[in-house]
């Protein structure tokens, strides 16, 4: 940790060095509480005694395909299973697959688990999304697919990705684990690509604890995914193909349906909250707000800002430690680019320079539907205080 004396006089006022914190009570980083209606919906399934995937999973599927503008939605156990269910029919062993260097590991590790070869594509420095030009440069003769994450809830440049896919005859799988209800060119994300996957993990915008959904628009593919999800079973104990048990259960389905009643309102609140952060950040030298891809309407699963490091005398980790002491918790998504993960480093071609530096600059501010004006005042004051004390 940089010592107060090397930072100058203003640092003495930082809570970290004994000054008064902006807020003694930390701003809540996320809001995951269930309502009585959610609990009652789950209780109704518990009381029924029938916990397997049934009417509630089916209801979630129908509503999700309508909301995301996809023809078919299949619930499953989690977002990682959703990726596997999408990848297995669309990617062959040994294929080269373009993947983001800047994402959560599952987007890429499930490509490796499929037996395919990930080719890392760099990120754009302002939207953090996969760079379509770098993707185009990296297509090989064996490339058959592109897996792209709508990271932090912001859609990628879908026009450019679909254009590349058409020219090079690539399958497209979008990982929308963080992008529930985001839109692109005014349309739901299920309208684009060959398959779209979602995670309903406990902290996601729509959260069922563990859970996932795959959507697609091709009936044959939907059938393949349904078979893979449940041991290739076409009739009781008749198994047409090899599959897995990747099914959701109706308790998760019931919580998902109940929470879905509020998701659009909560999403609108996240967007309004992001606009408030944009304003706060625009007034502080050295801080950069996230930019949205053209035509996209992001849903801010995470609000990821970055530091213009040469403007400060501290590292990002020191900056966020000081913020925490002031009452503003943050998170770093992600501390390493994927090619530098030990599990994936065998595939690292050392040619994703943007992702290599983003990991030292980004930090996520508290983002959820329960933030109050008080919280924004605290975050604004703490950011200004820490930035001023740490400025170069
Ligand atoms: C972008 C992305 N893809 C995939 C996943 C995996 O989802 P799950 O944790 O439900 O398996 C996550 C979850 O954190 C994610 O953020």
The number of distinct structural domains making up the chain is: 2
Distance 47 CA to ligand 1 centre (A): 30
Q: What is the C-alpha separation between 139 and 141, in angstroms, rounded? A: 7
Distance 355 CA to ligand 1 centre (A): 19
Task: Mark whether 268 and 329 lie in a shared domain.
Answer: yes
Distance 22 CA to ligand 1 centre (A): 34
| Burial class of 128 by CB neighbour count within 10 A (0 to 12, 13 to 18, 19+) | buried
For a substitution probing ligand 1, which of 104, 213, 214 has the most ligand atoms within 8 Å of its CB? 104
CATH number for the domain spanning 52: value is: 3.40.640.10
Q: Which of 207, 223, 258 is the last residue of a domain?
A: 258
Q: Which of 258, 280, 296 is the last residue of a domain?
A: 258
Q: What residue's CA is closest to ligand 1, atom 10?
A: 79
- Report the pLDDT value the prediction gives residue 4, as an integer from 0 to 100: 62
Distance 79 CA to ligand 1 centre (A): 5
Task: At 7, give phi and psi (nearest 5°).
Answer: -95, -15
Positions in the chain whose pLDDT score sits under 70: 1-6
Distance 103 CA to ligand 1 centre (A): 10
Distance 177 CA to ligand 1 centre (A): 6
Task: Mark whether 300 and 182 lie in a shared domain.
Answer: no
Distance 113 CA to ligand 1 centre (A): 15
Give the pLDDT confidence of 279-319 residue by residue, as tens digits.
999 999 999 999 999 999 999 999 999 999 999 999 999 99
- Report the pLDDT value the prediction gives residue 139, as an integer from 0 to 100: 98
* Cα within 13 Å of Cα(158), Cβ side: 27
Task: Mark whether 248 and 378 lie in a shared domain.
Answer: no
Is pTM beyond 0.85 here? Answer: yes
Q: What is the C-alpha separation between 21 and 4, in angstroms, rounded? A: 15
- Report the pLDDT value the prediction gives residue 52, as an integer from 0 to 100: 96
Q: Is 231 left (phi over 0), alpha (psi -120 to 50) or beta?
A: left
The full length of the chain comes to 392
Q: Which of 241, 258, 275 is the last residue of a domain?
A: 258
Residue reference for tokens 């503003």: 328
Q: pLDDT exceeding 90 applies to what percent of the chain?
A: 97
Q: Is 100 in the pocket of ligand 1 (CB under 6 A)?
A: no
Q: Is 80 in the pocket of ligand 1 (CB under 6 A)?
A: yes
Percent of residues in the chain assigned helix, strand, coil, to nearest 5: 45, 20, 40
- What atom of ligand 1 comes closest to residue 149's alpha carbon? 1
Q: What is the C-alpha separation between 340 and 93, in angstroms, rounded? A: 23
Q: What is the C-alpha separation between 83 and 213, in angstroms, rounded? A: 9
Task: Mark whether 25 and 109 lie in a shared domain.
Answer: no
- Report the pLDDT value the prediction gives residue 11, as an integer from 0 to 100: 86
For a substitution probing ligand 1, which of 107, 177, 180 has the most ligand atoms within 8 Å of its CB? 177
Task: Mark whether 269 and 325 lie in a shared domain.
Answer: yes
- Report the pLDDT value the prediction gives residue 10, as an integer from 0 to 100: 82
Instruction: Name the residue range of residue 328's domain.
Output: 4-32+262-390
For a substitution probing ligand 1, which of 79, 298, 302 has the most ligand atoms within 8 Å of its CB? 79
- CA torsion, ordered 38, 41, 43, 49, to nearest 10 deg: -140
Task: Mark whether 173 and 322 lie in a shared domain.
Answer: no
- Dump strand ranges (E) for the chain: 72-76, 96-100, 117-121, 143-149, 171-175, 183-184, 187-188, 195-199, 212-216, 233-235, 238-239, 287-288, 296-297, 303-307, 362-365
CATH number for the domain spanning 333: value is: 3.90.1150.10
Q: Is 205 in the pocket of ligand 1 (CB under 6 A)?
A: no
- Report the pLDDT value the prediction gives residue 42, as an integer from 0 to 100: 98
Distance 154 CA to ligand 1 centre (A): 15
């Amino acid at each position: 940790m940089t010592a107060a004396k090397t930072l100058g006089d203003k640092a003495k006022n930082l809570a970290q060095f004994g000054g008064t914190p902006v807020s003694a009570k930390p701003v809540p980083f996320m809001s995951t509480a269930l309502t009585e209606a959610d609990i009652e919906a789950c209780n109704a399934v518990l009381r029924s005694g029938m916990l397997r995937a049934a009417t509630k999973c089916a209801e979630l599927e129908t509503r999700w395909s309508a909301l995301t503008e996809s023809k078919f939605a299949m619930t499953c156990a989690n977002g990682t299973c959703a990726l596997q269910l999408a990848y297995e029919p669309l990617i062959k062993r040994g294929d080269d697959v373009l993947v983001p260097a800047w994402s959560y590991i599952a987007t890429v590790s499930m490509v490796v688990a499929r037996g395919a070869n990930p080719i890392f594509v760099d990120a754009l420095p302002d939207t953090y999304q996969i760079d379509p030009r770098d993707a185009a440069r990296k297509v090989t003769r064996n490339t058959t697919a592109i897996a792209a994450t709508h990271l932090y809830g912001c859609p990628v440049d879908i026009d450019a990705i679909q254009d590349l896919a058409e020219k090079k005859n690539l399958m497209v799988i979008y990982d929308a684990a963080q992008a529930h209800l985001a839109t692109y060119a005014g349309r739901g994300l299920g309208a684009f690509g060959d398959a779209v996957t979602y995670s309903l993990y406990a902290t996601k915008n729509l959260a069922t604890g563990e859970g996932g959904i795959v959507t697609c628009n091709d009936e044959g593919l939907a059938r393949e995914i349904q078979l893979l999800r449940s041991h290739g079973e076409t009739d009781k104990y008749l198994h047409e193909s090899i599959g897995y048990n990747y099914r959701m259960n109706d308790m998760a389905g019931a919580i998902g349906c109940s929470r879905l009643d509020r998701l659009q309102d909560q999403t609108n609140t996240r967007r309004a909250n992001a606009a408030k952060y944009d304003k706060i950040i625009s007034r502080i030298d050295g801080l950069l707000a996230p930019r949205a891809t053209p035509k996209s309407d992001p849903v801010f699963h995470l609000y990821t800002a970055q530091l213009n490091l040469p403007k400060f005398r501290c590292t990002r980790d020191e900056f966020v430690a000081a913020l925490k002491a002031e009452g503003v918790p943050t998170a770093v998504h992600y501390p390493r680019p994927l090619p530098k993960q030990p599990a994936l480093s065998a595939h690292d071609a050392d040619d994703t320079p943007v992702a290599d530096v983003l990991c030292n600059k980004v930090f996520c501010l508290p983002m959820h539907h329960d933030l109050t004006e008080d919280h924004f005042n605290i975050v604004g004051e703490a950011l200004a205080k820490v930035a001023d004390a740490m400025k170069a």
